[in-house]
Amino acid sequence: MTSPPDPRSLDLDALRSRLLSERGGTVDDSIPQLADADPDLCALALALPDGTVRTSAQADVPFSVQSAVKPFLFALALVDTDGEALDLVGIEPTGEAFDAIKLESGTGRPPNPMVNAGALLTASLVEGDGPEERSARIARGLSAFAGRDLLVDEQVAHNEHLLGDRNHALAHLMRAEGALQPSADDAVAVYARACATLVDAETLAVMGATLALGGVNPRTGERVVSARVARDVVSVMATCGVYDGSGRWMRAVGVPAKSSVSGAIVLSAPGRLGAAVVSPPLDDQGTSVRGRRASEMLSDDLQLHSFSV
Ligand code: GLU
């Protein structure tokens, strides 16, 4: 058996130039800060087991992490509840949009931690006496995944809290079902703040690598979560990470990933690497058009597809 290609041999700037000629998709306009995103922002990064990170141009441009935070919220909830989060949120794909106002039939639980209902719940399961403490613990946890202190874009957090009507509706629905403990408003505030965390492609790749490499941050050497938690999270990224496009993603890219409305995608290829791609124009499922293309190319060039033999 031949060994897979060395990620160090890949020219990420050449790949980026090929991506820039792709023009499809529309930038999310749910809040002004996302609507103002540069449609030509395009960056890629790969974080490798030896702690090195390979980047293209613009891999240091900050953006709000949005739903790419969901795998990490799930991980922190699993740690802080000692695994009980697995009983409180489902793990089945929905085939529906990220913000569908729907809970699991029969149980009243959110369907999975990668859609908004699930992430509102997992964020509220993170330890903390009240929303400020919970947000502080989330910030510390996300920073450990990143290997550096992460900041929050206060304007984004404010607007998402204010304008996230569907998230408020989901939180109220979960309260009515007895699934959510904090007040609906506190739950939305904590989730909105997590989504407003600022990252860049380089940082997000390290976060993805920490999950891909069994919970140890390859840059700092810190064990952030157990190997079991990392495995559980990556499994759910594989089945639910790209919303109602998860099946198509798994066939074409074959790497567990999480998409987001800021146009970022975080990928965790177990045992191999973490990767991040960002480009704001999105397709109908809310996946970055160039990000998807980039992920297909990375998967092909580096033989990352989980089911390729
Ligand atoms: N903050 C966004 C929301 O809850 C995240 C959605 C996404 O990135 O897919 O509406």
Ligand 1 pocket, mutate which of 116, 165, 244, 283 (most atoms under 8 A from CB): 116
The Cα–Cα gap between 226 and 215 comes to 6
Nearest residue (by CA) to ligand 1, atom 4, is: 116
b/e map 274-289, b = 16+ CB within 10 Å:
bbbbbbbbbeebbbbb
Helix or strand or coil: residue 130?
Answer: coil
Residue 152: is it exposed, middle or buried by C-beta count within 10 angstroms (0-12/13-18/19+)? Answer: buried
pLDDT band at 3 (very low <50, low <70, confident <90, very high): confident
Number of the ligand 1 atom closest to the C-alpha atom of 262: 8
Concatenated DSSP letters of 235-281: HHHHHHTTGGGHHHHHHHT-S-EEE-TTSEEEEEETTTEEEEEE---
168, 190 contact by CB (below 8 A) = no
pLDDT band at 244 (very low <50, low <70, confident <90, very high): very high
Taking 90 as the threshold, does the pLDDT of residue 26 lie above it?
yes
Task: Report in angstroms the alpha-carbon separations of 168 from 13, 81, 191, 244, 270.
Answer: 41, 24, 11, 22, 35
Distance from Cα 309 to the centre of ligand 1, integer Å: 35
Distance from Cα 203 to the centre of ligand 1, integer Å: 19
Q: What is the pLDDT of residue 1?
A: 58
Mean predicted confidence (pLDDT) in 278-297:
97
Domains and their CATH numbers in the chain? 7-302 (3.40.710.10)
Taking 70 as the threshold, does the pLDDT of residue 250 lie above it?
yes
Number of the ligand 1 atom closest to the C-alpha atom of 167: 4
Distance from Cα 239 to the centre of ligand 1, integer Å: 18
203, 142 contact by CB (below 8 A) = no
Distance from Cα 67 to the centre of ligand 1, integer Å: 5
Residue 277 bridge partners (DSSP): 44, 265
Distance from Cα 98 to the centre of ligand 1, integer Å: 7
The Cα–Cα gap between 296 and 55 comes to 17
Distance from Cα 261 to the centre of ligand 1, integer Å: 6
Mean predicted confidence (pLDDT) in 71-85:
98
The Cα–Cα gap between 161 and 179 comes to 20
For CA atoms 208, 272, 229, 250, give the dihedral sign.
positive
Q: What is the pLDDT of residue 59?
A: 98
Distance from Cα 191 to the centre of ligand 1, integer Å: 10
Q: What is the pLDDT of residue 2?
A: 74
pLDDT in tens, 200-219: 999 999 999 999 999 999 99
Q: What is the pLDDT of residue 4?
A: 84
Distance from Cα 298 to the centre of ligand 1, integer Å: 25
- Of 89, 40, 33, 90, give the one whose Cα is nearest residue 65: 33
Mean predicted confidence (pLDDT) in 258-263:
97
- As for ligand 1, residues whose beta carbon falls within 6 Å of it are 30, 66-67, 98-99, 116, 160, 164, 167, 195, 260-261, 286
117, 102 contact by CB (below 8 A) = yes
252 is written with which tokens?
């074409």
Residue 220: is it exposed, middle or buried by C-beta count within 10 angstroms (0-12/13-18/19+)? Answer: middle
Ligand 1 pocket, mutate which of 27, 29, 30 (most atoms under 8 A from CB): 30
20 is written with which tokens?
């820039």
Largest CA distance in the chain: 56
Mean predicted confidence (pLDDT) in 249-274:
98
Number of the ligand 1 atom closest to the C-alpha atom of 286: 9
Number of the ligand 1 atom closest to the C-alpha atom of 196: 1
Nearest residue (by CA) to ligand 1, atom 2, is: 66
Ligand 1 pocket, mutate which of 34, 63, 98 (most atoms under 8 A from CB): 98
pLDDT over 90 for what percent of the chain? 97
Mean predicted confidence (pLDDT) in 162-179:
96
Sheet holding 53-55, edge to edge: 53-55, 43-47, 273-278, 264-269, 257-259
Task: Report in angstroms the alpha-carbon separations of 244 from 13, 138, 146, 247, 256.
Answer: 30, 27, 27, 8, 14
Mean predicted confidence (pLDDT) in 134-152:
98
